[in-house]
């Protein structure tokens, strides 16, 4: 079982396994063919309101709590379960455009998936 986070601007690597974009918006300057994205579950991404609040100066700890609450909603919970199943089958790489993946929704997902 292997899951990790990488920036989508980095070149794909052979050991990436399933490449999952975990951002709601497609990253600027990245061609879809070059990104090699296998899945894009937009229902797993933070809501627009939560993203705006966080980027407006909200604390990471509060963001994390609010995001985990959003992930408990039925649609998101189902998508998260599907991603857990993918992790059980092989390597998964969570892709994000954020400049600080270690303090983002991608890190929250990584930890929830056991990474």
| C-alpha pair distances (Å), 88 with each of 2, 20, 35, 82, 114 | 8, 15, 23, 10, 10
Q: Which two tokens stand for residue 21?
A: 């974009």
User: What does each of the 115 residues of the chain score in pLDDT, given as a tens digit?
Assistant: 599 999 999 999 999 999 999 999 999 999 999 899 999 999 999 999 999 999 999 999 999 999 999 999 999 999 999 999 999 999 999 999 999 999 999 999 999 998 7
What count of Cα atoms within 13 Å lies in the side-chain half-sphere of residue 1? 10
Q: Which two tokens stand for residue 96?
A: 């994000």
- Residues pairing with 93 in the sheet: 4, 19
Q: What is the pLDDT of residue 1?
A: 57
**Residue 4, phi then psi, degrees to nearest 5:** -150, 170
Residue spans of the domains in the chain: they are 3-112
Q: What is the pLDDT of residue 47?
A: 96
How do beta strands 18-21 and 3-7 pair? unpaired
Which helix (DSSP H) or strand (DSSP E) does residue 19 occupy?
A: strand 18-21
Nearest to 22 by CA among 97, 72, 76: 97
Q: What is the pLDDT of residue 88?
A: 95
Q: What is the pLDDT of residue 114?
A: 87
Q: What is the pLDDT of residue 56?
A: 94
CB 41, CB 20: distance < 8 Å: yes
pTM for this structure?
Answer: 0.93
């Amino acid at each position: 079982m292997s899951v990790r986070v990488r920036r989508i601007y980095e070149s794909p690597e052979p050991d990436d396994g399933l490449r999952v974009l975990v951002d709601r918006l497609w990253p600027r300057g990245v061609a879809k063919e070059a990104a090699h994205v296998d899945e894009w579950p937009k229902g797993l991404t933070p809501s627009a309101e939560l993203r705006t609040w966080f980027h407006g100066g909200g604390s990471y700890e509060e963001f994390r709590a609010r995001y985990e609450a959003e992930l408990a909603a039925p649609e998101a919970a189902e998508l998260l379960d599907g991603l857990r199943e993918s992790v059980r089958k092989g390597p998964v790489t969570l892709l994000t455009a954020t400049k600080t993946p270690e303090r983002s929704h991608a890190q929250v997902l990584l930890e929830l998936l056991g990474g």
